[in-house]
C-alpha cells in the first residue's frame, strides 16, 4: 500500500512540474520555427501556368489569393480567402494540385 501511495505522489509531482514548465512558456511566446525558412514568398505570376489556370478556374471563383510561396522542395503553397473562410492549396512542381 505504501508503494502505491508513493508512486501516486511521484506521478502527481511530475505532472505538476510539467504544467508549470508549459505555463512559463506562455501562449504569446514565439517558438522558433523552421517552417518559415522552408518557403519563400513569391508573386502569383511566378506560379507554374497550370497552377494559375487552376486558381483562375470556376472552382476558385470568389476566392482571393492572400499569400503565395515557393517551398524549399520546389513545390508551391497558396493561401486563399473567401469571406471568413481560408484554405491552403499545395501544388507540385508542375503546378498540379496535391
pLDDT at 64 exceeding the cut of 80: yes
Mean of pLDDT values over 13-25: 52
Average of per-residue pLDDT across 8-22: 56
Fill in the DSSP letter of residue 42. Answer: -
> Which carries the bigger pLDDT value, residue 33 or residue 8?
8
| 23-60 residue pLDDT tens | 444 444 444 455 567 899 999 999 999 999 999 999 99
Q: What is the pLDDT of residue 19?
A: 47
Q: Give all strands (DSSP E) within the chain, no chain letters.
A: 39-41, 64-71, 76-82, 85-91
9/29 Cα distance (integer angstroms): 31
Distance CA 40, CA 7 (A): 51
C-alpha cell, 47:
506560379
Amino acid at each position: 500500500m505504501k508503494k502505491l501511495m508513493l508512486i501516486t505522489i511521484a506521478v502527481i509531482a511530475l505532472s505538476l512540474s510539467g504544467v508549470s514548465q508549459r505555463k512559463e512558456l506562455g501562449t504569446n511566446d514565439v517558438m522558433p520555427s523552421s517552417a518559415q525558412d522552408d518557403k519563400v514568398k513569391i508573386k502569383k505570376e511566378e506560379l507554374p501556368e497550370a497552377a494559375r489556370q487552376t486558381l483562375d478556374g470556376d472552382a476558385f471563383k470568389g476566392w482571393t489569393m492572400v499569400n503565395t510561396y515557393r517551398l524549399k522542395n520546389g513545390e508551391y503553397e497558396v493561401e486563399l480567402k473567401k469571406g471568413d473562410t481560408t484554405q491552403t492549396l499545395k501544388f507540385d512542381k508542375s503546378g498540379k494540385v496535391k
